[in-house]
Amino acid sequence: MTANTAEPEEHAVDPADRRREQRGWYFYDFACSVYSTSVVTVFLGPYLTSVARAAADAEGFVHPLGIPVRAGSLFAYAVSASIVVAVLVMPLVGAVADRTGRKKPLLAAAAYLGAAATMGMFFLDGDRYLLGAFLLIVANASLAVSMVLYNAYLPQIAEPDERDAVSSRGWAFGYTSGALVLVLNLVVYSGHESFGLSEGTAVRVCLASAGLWWGAFTLVPLRRLRDRRIPPNAEGSVGGGWRQLMATLRDMRRHPLTLSFLLAYLIYNDGVQTVISQASVFGSEELGLDQTTLITAVLLVQVLAIGGALGMGRMARSYGAKRTILASLAVWALILAAGYFLPAGAPVAFFFLAAAIGLVLGGSQALSRSLFSHLVPRGKEAEYFSAYEMSDRGLSWLGPLVFGLAYQLTGSYRDAIISLVIFFVVGFVLLARVPVRAAVAAAGNPVPERI
């Protein structure tokens, strides 16, 4: 997305109008974050795995399109496939948005397609594993496309000196809604008998309610955000999204230190995203933990992620962002090592692991984004961050694929979870080799006292 191509009119002149748009913008995070939290992180992994196992042959394999897939790997493979679909679609949607200036209808289409697919998960019962995988791919890809459009509004609704605060508030709205809906899910799931529901039906109700929430609260940003006029010389072809991305990546070659940081980020962030998406499968299938324990653990992550991000922000002021991120990557590797040795049926130990994840989750991602902002040449913020988003989505299929293959080959989720250590080790080594002060100077930006 080339959000900087709009005319100066793209900023709301009246501060009150701009704040009104910002409040509407926050609510898309509030709307869609419940999908990431309730569906991907908590319920769908274990439930889809159980559905696949019901359809599996005597050796434990299902055969989508005639391909033998171990039932326990299906969820990871579907997540990986959804990212590939998203990467193919995002540049095309970006080109249409750039050509027409009409992000809002595209955001609505992506959001409601994802919400509808999520609500459709209510019908995921019996041995309908193919339906589950299909709905996951559609919903996950729709979320990714909608987030590109959503993020592209930020330069239009916030002045440069307020973007950090606006972005952080959106992030906080998302974590708040995720925690709130998880509490409601916990009530429904743990009390399913009193509601006259079976355990499986309670899970399907929780899945579908996330889609309903996503669709309902998307109405707020759609009412408050507005589209801007585009300049006459805007990119006009459907291939423009890919051409813009390629042009930006070529320009990055003139800033090899920025590119080096981006590569390190893409690798370790893929590890982060895979741990989050596969943790519930590991907890239920390998450790034998029930859904109530998993929901409580994710709630713990949601709450501690906010405090952890603030705490790591303070650490960065004292030790610099790079050192703080490196320390968090070491903690991530230790978390995976501890997970490998975690005894089955030990919820308290799992809670300690969840607490550790929460303390490093928000901070490692927030500091990575702020550090990258120092490495972006002035005047190229929007296009570099567009490449940052595109490249992030482009590599995020690799972690779930590694996780799925490790389980496919070994039949052990412990081996699958420990295989992700490589992402943090390689990311740590690559980041440690980036001279960030020189990178900031090479980008033409003032070098902070600590970075």
Per residue in 385-416, pLDDT (tens digit) is: 666 766 555 556 788 888 888 988 888 889 99
What is the spatial distance between Cα 39 and Cα 71, in angstroms, rounded to a whole number?
Answer: 19
312, amino acid identity:
M
What phi and psi values does residue 61 have, to the nearest 5 degrees? -110, 140
Please report the pLDDT score of residue 195 as a whole number: 92
| pLDDT of 108 above 60 | yes
Average pLDDT over residues 197-216: 96
Q: Which residues pair with 70 in a beta bridge?
A: 61
pLDDT band with cut points at 50, 70 and 90 for residue 135: very high
Average pLDDT over residues 333-358: 91
Helix, strand, coil percentages in the chain from 3-state DSSP, rounded to 5: 80, 0, 20
What is the spatial distance between Cα 299 and Cα 296, in angstroms, rounded to a whole number?
Answer: 5
Q: 74-102: per-residue pLDDT in tens? A: 988 898 899 888 878 877 787 677 677 78
Report yes or no: 381 and 258 within 8 Å, Cβ to Cβ. no
What is the spatial distance between Cα 295 and Cα 44, in angstroms, rounded to a whole number?
Answer: 12
Please report the pLDDT score of residue 351 as a whole number: 93
pLDDT band with cut points at 50, 70 and 90 for residue 383: low
pLDDT top residue among 383 and 56 = 56
Alpha helices by DSSP H, listed for 102-238, are 103-119, 129-152, 154-157, 163-190, 199-224
Helix (H, G, I), strand (E, B) or coil at 343: coil
A 10 A CB-CB count for 258 gives: 24
pLDDT band with cut points at 50, 70 and 90 for residue 211: very high
DSSP symbol at 283: I
Calculate the alpha carbon distances from 74 to 312, 339, 429 in Å.
35, 21, 31
Mean pLDDT (the chain, rounded): 84
Least confident range from 201-205, 226-230, 355-359: namely 226-230
| pLDDT of 4 above 50 | no
Angle, CA 406 vertex, CA 353 and CA 81 arms, to 5°? 95
Structure tokens at 381: 């913020």
Average pLDDT over residues 298-314: 80
What phi and psi values does residue 397 have, to the nearest 5 degrees? -80, -20
Structure tokens at 204: 């399907």
Structure tokens at 238: 């459907």
pTM more than 0.85? no
Query: Tokens 């889809």 identify what position?
Result: 48
Which contiguous run of DSSP H or E holds residue 61?
Answer: strand 61-62
Structure tokens at 263: 């590569």
pLDDT top residue among 101 and 40 = 40
| pLDDT of 71 above 80 | yes
Tell me whether strands 69-70 and 61-62 are parallel, antiparallel or unpaired.
antiparallel
pLDDT top residue among 360 and 91 = 360
Please report, to the nearest 10 degrees, the dihedral formed by the alpha carbons of residues 248, 250, 256, 261 taken in order. 40
